[in-house]
Chains A and B, each alone.
Chain A
């Protein structure tokens, strides 16, 4: 074995950093959307208190964790899943697949259809979180990009879309 140099997989630090920033922002945006948007609020109301989900990239991250605390408030819970009880674990199989998703070359639905993700958790939770992620994308992204990320771009009122977008960006940046 000494005759051969061991080849290890590249770390791809720039891609990982990009995905980590996106996950960090999406996590905080979900927290904000749960306070601002009626549909996101409703989706989380149906989930049990203490519910936690993790979205991340195999094999070693980055991750984001979002959950409801015991008072029912939705919180971004950081980027370390270690030691947390995760009810719904959504893992993208590798960083290249994550880049396809987070550069919106591939929608969440297309990524699922192409087996890019490993999901562990109850199916109704998966459906609810996919809907939340879709709504989050519509708020965060301009229409011409969001149309690539979701199956159907919703026909929202001006107030919901633009005022909601400003409020969610504001809350995401400030983290409340």
Chain B
């Protein structure tokens, strides 16, 4: 067990998890002295009938103040300020967010504006600006990936100034996160695969990164075990409720791990690929994760090798010689990607060359790789990566991840 010389860890979110967790929302709100929530969601979630499921589960217990389903794919300052008006106009006293990362970030933004009795969210951007507790916020994730239900940050886009504004404060942690298997049952297999691999990347980078600590490690190991042992089954049998709940728990555990230990080169390159080429974040994570582990292996082989146990189970772990376990971890993650590729009829991409948009066009042209490497230099995640990463390093990794060839580790500087 690795013990960091100094660390800080905070995750004070109450968890309610189960096949009938939604029914506990009225009680959870009552404990927070609230009972008239604004429900925030997006059109995809409401169109899939998930909000109806939530409303049916809670309508007898509380009085719903209002419902807004106009959160865009990228959260936006304008929408946040508008939803704050909806909250006030309907005399709401709490917020229930139903959706993915964008919905939860929007809900956190609305909560800042209404709790501070302000008219514009932008006054509160940055770290540690908030000085007091906010209104009660309950979040219900509808994907098993982002972990936003237990993170203290929100990223909201200012479309007028073309800026992504970051907000970070312990006061942004939701009061309650509700994990209910009904919320992810309809998630298509290829989205289940990429979002779960997003959570896997959170856990793996938290465990192998510079800010690792015993609390994050415990969360990360549990997350990896739950995701690894359930993901392929759920992709093959989407109605597997136990498996769905396991993935939701895994994503939340991974969120608690990375929220405190942060991430590294996989996320730096993933954010850059997302912003340059528009590739969904989970797809970037599943492709880049083995490459990030290979890149850092000369400094983190011991920790990477330890991950073979939660990933592959005791039998494989014990049967693999100690000096081969780190390579075994990388190979196992590649095998997971291959299995998911096969199980989704090729929709789960294994490398960037095969990532296609809805019209079948290649999303990452080879000539964009230099732009991705350049953009990754400006991503804060790289600060917490164990190995230094300059433009040439990023380019080497993204080229290998584009082709699908394992990283040639002899080319890594200093190895």
Contacts and interface: CB of A to CB of B under 8 A. Distances in A.
A122 to B, nearest CB: 9
Contacts of B388: 134, 150-152
B128 interface: yes
Contact of A123 (B6, B209, B379): B379
Contacts of A127: 377-380, 382-383
A118 interface: yes
Interface stretch (A21-29, A49-57, A108-116, A163-171): A108-116
Given A114-B4, A114-B211, A123 B128 contact: no
A153 interface: yes
B127 A110 contact: no
B384 A112 contact: yes
Nearest to A97: B6
A113 B210 contact: yes
A120 B127 contact: yes
B5 A114 contact: yes
A72 B204 CA distance: 42
Contacts of A130: 383
A152 B377 CA distance: 16
B380 A123 contact: yes
B126 interface: yes
Contacts of B128: 118
B315 interface: no
Interface in B151-210: 166, 209-210
A119 interface: yes
Contact of A126 (B4, B5, B383): B383
Contacts of B385: 151
B413 interface: yes
A124 interface: yes
A113 B262 CA distance: 8
A155 interface: yes
A48 B378 CA distance: 15
Most A CB atoms within 10 A — which of B383, B384, B387? B383
Interface residues of A, number: 22
B413 A112 contact: no
B8 to A, nearest CB: 5
A152 B384 contact: no
A134 B383 CA distance: 12
Contacts of B383: 109, 112-113, 126-127, 130
Contacts of B209: 113
B414 A152 contact: yes
Contacts of A126: 380, 383
Interface in B221-264: 262
Interface in A4-39: none
B166 A123 contact: yes
A109 B380 CA distance: 11
Given A127-B377, A127-B380, A152 B127 contact: no
Nearest to B4: A114
B386 interface: yes
Given A112-B383, A152-B387, A152-B414, A118 B377 contact: no
A56 to B, nearest CB: 16
A118 B127 contact: yes
Interface in A122-176: 123-124, 126-128, 130, 134, 150-153, 155
Contacts of B377: 127
A116 B7 CA distance: 9
Contacts of A152: 387-388, 413-414
A150 B378 CA distance: 18
A120 B167 CA distance: 11
A124 B378 CA distance: 4
Contacts of B210: 109-110, 112-113
Contacts of B378: 123-124, 127-128
Contact of B211 (A113, A119, A120, A150): A113
A96 B261 CA distance: 22
Interface in B361-387: 377-380, 382-387
A118 B127 CA distance: 8
A108 to B, nearest CB: 8
A127 B394 CA distance: 15
Most B CB atoms within 10 A — which of A120, A134, A151? A151
Nearest to A123: B380
Contacts of B379: 123, 127
B127 A114 contact: no
Contacts of B126: 120
B413 A155 contact: yes
Given A113-B384, A115-B7, A152-B414, 8 more contacts: A114-B5, A114-B7, A128-B378, A150-B388, A151-B387, A151-B388, A152-B388, A152-B413
29 contacts: A109-B383, A110-B210, A112-B210, A112-B383, A112-B384, A113-B383, A114-B5, A114-B6, A114-B7, A114-B8, A115-B6, A115-B8, A116-B6, A120-B126, A123-B379, A123-B380, A126-B380, A126-B383, A127-B377, A127-B380, A127-B382, A128-B378, A130-B383, A134-B388, A150-B388, A151-B387, A151-B388, A152-B387, A153-B414
